[in-house]
Amino acid sequence: MAERIWNMKEQINFKNVIQTVFRDYLVLAAIALLVIITSIVEPKFLTTGNMTNIMRQFGPLIMVALGMTFVIIGGFIDLSVSGILSLVAVVTISLIEPLGQVGALIVGICLGTFCGYLNSVLILASGAMKQAEALFITYGMSTVYGALALIYSGGRTKQMSLVKANTSIYKTIGTGTVGILSVSFIMFLVCLLLLYIFQNKTYMGRTIYLTGGNKTAAELAGIHIRRSITLIYTISGLMTALGAIVLFSRVTAASPVIGKGYETNAILAVVVGGTTLIGGNGSVLRTVLGTTLVILLSNCLNLLGVSVYMQYMMKGAILVLAIWLDSRKQL
Amino acid sequence: MKNINIGKKLLNIATKQKAVLAIIVILVIMVFSKTNFYTAYNLFDMIKSVSILMILAFGVTLVLVAGGCDLSIGGIMVVSGIVTIKLMNANIPMWISILAALLVGAIVGAINGYLVVYQGTEPFIITLGMGMMLTGIAQQLTDAHPIPCNNPNFVKLANDKLFNIIPNLVIVMIAVFFIIHYILRYTSFGRNCYAIGGDYEVAKYSGINVLPTKAMTFVICGITAALGGVMLSSMLNSGSSTYGDTTALVVNCGVVVGGTSFAGGIGSAPQSAIGLLVFGVLQNSMNMLGIDAYVQQIIQGIVIVAIICLDCYGRKRKRETV
């Protein structure tokens, strides 16, 4: 797969151009179509209020999806994000009183990063080199993290309004705006910029692509694939922790099951964006497009009054369809 | 030097017979606990509660042996259970409703098989998406409430006891066990499954019709999952969209615990039964010991991770020694 990336630059033939256009602009076309149809059917869609709403909804999912992008580029998968999300949210909100808001923030981010690191340790120790093996290990860890969150909180939802300490940072993240952009959106832009530079301009970022392309070849070429596997899961944990903080700041409460469904949504966003599940291919920018589509879709369906269950079904259908199209492109 | 050898031997035994070992450990622990674990009532109850998962597991075994994977079984299970009850509530005879539910399972299995085998998609993710879609359909059908069944005969299907001892559910489970065991062991279809899972290319060039064979395993898995769903609805006399949330992963892990490998080509129905029994025994004994539900969840998660890690580790050692 990595060789294919290099080859594409050298010999841009007609078929490749068609493939690239198809892959990159299908999502854009879908987004445009969705916006046009919804704004005709439901004029409320284009109001400033709704746009701000979409921008806020963007926050948690895009953070998780950006982390997931690297895991998928590296040829693995991470189902533990839902557990990490719940655990970090519950722990952070409960530590605001004893540690102060900055202390809680730091502990939360460190906890998420550690959980991600722990995943990579387990995967490396057991020598799981296949996507399927990583899928089951991270699923098991997700159960563990989720249960820890339940035990830690005693199964109760913690409201931010009941915290008897200064919560100004979280209020700013949740509802603050700079100009027309919300603060969480600016956080996302900063993360995107950093991750984009990491992905394209650093040695470690490039090795992730090679690891995903062909692990044996990468190892024989002298690349520390163990280091890049550790890195992708740690980044995923870190980004999930940030996502958790954005999420509970926005909803101003942390329940121990707050992260449920985020793993499939994040995978959906990454795959719909055009990052292939085989690994070695993809970009954080594509994930942004994919997330935009997922968020816009649920916003539009909400405005059109489609039931939540129907939306869940449609997301599953889109996931199946996206993977199907994805694999057809590789034939 | 000697110590290392003994350690290696122990590790070998642990990686090969981990399921039996786990059951023995739990059973020994339960001997010393002062609970009603060793009573006929409890033991039958335990077998009954694990029967549904076992029915699903036998189908999954077939798929895993042929080198695939099916994570949509949870979705198939709830949808087929709900379809049976919905049809019966519309005054359609019980047997026709059940056949319709099995047909739903077969169709979903066929779609899975088509997408995975003929279109070459990654089975793990595509069936995960399929499961998500089916859960959505189940929620839509029931409005996310449990729905009761109007037909009084339906509840007897799973709960009636043969000779007042053995629940029908267990008999169905044993029947499915023998059918799948027979298919895998004594038919050319089953032997071909092992060949395909062992080495796809070799199987292809030895003249095995690989594509239909592999797709067929998904159809059979869909049917067993639907049968499991029908039996579950009958046992509880209701259909709900929430039953199947974790089923797929628990069943797949259970099958792997028994000794079937994700890589394909290894495994059998008896091994899967033992693997699932580990989860049944663990769950039952934790309930008996009165362990907190959340702690149970952690223990189950750790057991899953430990077993999958051991499975991977065994394969890694194999790769390195060859």
How large is the greatest C-alpha to C-alpha distance in chain A, in angstroms? 64
* pLDDT for position A66: 92
Domain count, chain B: 1
Q: Is residue B54 part of a domain?
A: yes
What values do phi and psi take at B167, rounded to 5?
-65, 145
* pLDDT for position A96: 86
- Domain segments of chain A as ranges: 42-329
Q: Which residue has the higher pLDDT, B15 or A109?
A: A109
Q: Do the Cβ atoms of A148 and B298 come within 8 Å?
A: yes
* pLDDT for position A57: 81
Q: Is residue B15 part of a domain?
A: no
Q: What is the rounded CA–CA span in Å between residue A75 and residue A2?
A: 12
Tokens standing for residue B284: 């039952």
Q: Does the ipTM surpass 0.90?
A: no
Q: What percent of chain B has pLDDT over 90?
A: 12
| Residue-range definition of the domain harbouring residue B316 | 35-321
Give start and end residues of each alpha helix (H) in A74-156: 81-126, 131-153
Q: Provide the pLDDT confidence category of residue B16 given band limits of 50, 70 and 90.
A: low
Distance from CA of B53 to the nearest CA of A (A): 18
pLDDT in tens, B128-144: 888 888 888 888 888 87
The answer, for A84 touching chain B at a CB cutoff of 8 Å, is: no
Q: Do the Cβ atoms of B305 and A137 come within 8 Å?
A: yes
Q: Is residue B23 part of a domain?
A: no
**What CATH number is attached to the domain comprising B169?**
1.10.3470
Report the 10 Å Cβ neighbour count for B211. Answer: 14
* pLDDT for position B13: 63
CA distances from B110 to A85, A166, A315, B60, B137 (A): 35, 57, 21, 14, 18
Task: Answer positive or negative: Cα dihedral of A94, A99, A100, A104.
Answer: negative
Q: Provide the pLDDT confidence category of residue B29 given band limits of 50, 70 and 90.
A: confident
Average pLDDT over residues B62-81: 89
The answer, for A313 touching chain B at a CB cutoff of 8 Å, is: yes
The answer, for B291 touching chain A at a CB cutoff of 8 Å, is: no
pLDDT in tens, B290-314: 888 888 888 888 888 888 888 778 7
Q: Which residue has the higher pLDDT, B109 or B123?
A: B109
The length of chain A is 331
Distance from CA of B190 to the nearest CA of A (A): 23
Q: What is the rounded CA–CA span in Å between residue A244 and residue A237?
A: 10
* pLDDT for position A39: 83
Q: Do the Cβ atoms of A323 and B125 come within 8 Å?
A: yes
Across the interface, which of A140, A264, A307 has its CB nearest the CB of B301? Answer: A140
* pLDDT for position A7: 54
pLDDT in tens, B259-286: 787 777 788 888 888 888 888 888 888 8
How large is the greatest C-alpha to C-alpha distance in chain B, in angstroms? 73
* pLDDT for position A330: 59
Please determine, for residue B102, whether its predicted confidence score (pLDDT) is greater than 70: yes
Contact residues on chain A for B120, CB-CB shorter than 8 A: 327, 330-331
Of all residues in chain A, the one with the smallest CA distance to B310 is: A126
CB–CB of B148/B214 below 8 Å?
Answer: no
Position B228, amino acid: G
Q: Is residue B103 part of a domain?
A: yes
* pLDDT for position A119: 92
Question: Chain A window 201-240: which residues touch B at a Cβ cutoff of 8 Å?
Answer: none
Ranges of beta strands (E only) in chain A are 158-159, 177-178, 181-182, 253-254
Q: Is residue B45 part of a domain?
A: yes
Q: Is residue B189 part of a domain?
A: yes
B275: left (phi over 0), alpha (psi -120 to 50) or beta: alpha
Average pLDDT over residues B11-34: 74
Q: Is residue B223 part of a domain?
A: yes
Report the 10 Å Cβ neighbour count for A151. Answer: 17
Q: Do the Cβ atoms of A312 and B294 come within 8 Å?
A: no
Q: Which fold has domain A42-329?
A: ABC transporter involved in vitamin B12 uptake, BtuC (1.10.3470)
Distance from CA of B37 to the nearest CA of A (A): 26
Q: Is residue B117 part of a domain?
A: yes
Q: Do the Cβ atoms of B298 and A144 come within 8 Å?
A: yes
Closest CA to B268 of B278, B260, B276, B277: B260
Position B37, amino acid: F
Residues of chain A with pLDDT under 50: 1
* pLDDT for position A240: 93
Instruction: Return mean pLDDT, chain B.
Output: 83
